[in-house]
Amino acid sequence: MDLNTEVDNLVKASQAWIPMIMEYGSRVLLAVITLAIGWWLINKVTQKLGGLLALRNADLALQGFISSLANIILKVLLIVSVASMIGVETTSFVAAIGAAGLAIGLALQGSLANFAGGVLILLFRPFRIGDWIEAQGVAGTVDSIQIFHTVLRTGDNKTIIVPNGNLSNGIITNTNRQPTRKVVFDVGVDYEADLQKAREVLLELAKDERILAEPAPQAVISTLGDSSITVSLRVWVKTADYWDVMFMFNEQSRDRLKTAGIDIPFPQRVIRVVQEAPVN
């Protein structure tokens, strides 16, 4: 093969490959530019989203979760779009992702339920970090709200981890949600006691700076028991003062009632002995 023939072959090959290289090269270059600009824009958008949530006083956990989720979803869509620009068949690609997602979902049903529960908790906020809640048979202060579980700290400093799936579908009692709470303090007095005086003694206990003037404190006769009459003192306090006021009532009520000559009886039973006459 002479030199002219080799040159002709190179020219023919270049005529075949150069248009293809130009075509695909431009696609790849455009895809790389799109990926770089899109990646930068997505980061900026998610940062702005986090700032918007912060302006609306959203929880820190909710801010981080929504920003991260939006960032991941947008970047996945960007990668799929860039792949289609290069010429990759995205239909089969998306189908493969869907099949893998289905398989993973079936294998991790419990985890996905907890994930969905975490999303609902972060969106609807039935409680916040620092609230004292009762749920799923446990109670404690909310330490953190994770995607799959919520961490509680009990009064004696134990850590309880509650799955979000169960937590979002169950009954939750949040004692910190309202700014005020009603203290209901019941004490039993003797049936022979002066009830009006007992009410006055308990109302004297309510003259404390931590007890709110409105609604006004009440002392009522709530029940007539087997061995005592229950006098109920009902006052409203700030939520943070609830237990301090309750403990104060427990500590001072006995001495105040005793000084006023009112007894707090213990349970009593009347026993009748029936003696049968002897049989002759």
* CB neighbourhood size of 135 (10 A): 20
- Per-residue confidence (pLDDT) for residue 35, from 0 to 100: 84
Residue 217, φ and ψ in degrees, nearest 5: -60, 150
Q: What is the mean pLDDT of residues 20-33?
A: 71
Do domains 131-174 and 180-260 share one topology? The answer is no
- Per-residue confidence (pLDDT) for residue 91, from 0 to 100: 67
Burial group, residue 162, by CB count within 10 angstroms (0-12, 13-18, 19+): buried
Model confidence at 50: pLDDT above 60? yes
- Per-residue confidence (pLDDT) for residue 125, from 0 to 100: 83
Q: Band of the pLDDT at 174, cuts 50, 70, 90?
A: very high
Q: Band of the pLDDT at 153, cuts 50, 70, 90?
A: very high
Q: What is the mean pLDDT of residues 71-77?
A: 83
Please name the residue that has the structure tokens 């850590």.
159
* Rounded to 5°, angle at Cα 140 from 135 and 145: 80
- Per-residue confidence (pLDDT) for residue 118, from 0 to 100: 81
Q: What is the mean pLDDT of residues 266-279?
A: 69
Q: Band of the pLDDT at 112, cuts 50, 70, 90?
A: confident
Which range (45-49, 213-217, 254-258) has the least confidence?
45-49
The residues with which 132 forms a beta bridge, in sequence order, are 141
Q: Which of 1-10, 82-91, 178-187 has the highest mean pLDDT?
A: 178-187
- Per-residue confidence (pLDDT) for residue 73, from 0 to 100: 82
- Per-residue confidence (pLDDT) for residue 34, from 0 to 100: 85
What is the percent of the chain where pLDDT is above 90?
26
Q: What is the mean pLDDT of residues 164-180?
A: 89
Which residue did the predictor score with more confidence, 104 or 153?
A: 153
Model confidence at 3: pLDDT above 70? no
- Per-residue confidence (pLDDT) for residue 245, from 0 to 100: 93
Topology (CATH level 3) of domain 131-174: SH3 type barrels. (2.30.30)
Model confidence at 16: pLDDT above 60? no
CATH code at 3-88: 1.10.287
- 172-174 and 218-224 as β-strands: parallel, antiparallel, unpaired? unpaired
d(CA 239, CA 245): 10
Model confidence at 107: pLDDT above 60? no
- Per-residue confidence (pLDDT) for residue 183, from 0 to 100: 93
Chain segment 189-229, per-residue pLDDT in tens = 988 888 999 999 999 999 889 999 999 999 999 988 888 89
- Per-residue confidence (pLDDT) for residue 139, from 0 to 100: 92
The domain locations on the chain are 3-88, 131-174, 180-260
CATH code at 180-260: 3.30.70.100
Q: Band of the pLDDT at 140, cuts 50, 70, 90?
A: very high
Which residue did the predictor score with more confidence, 46 or 249?
A: 249
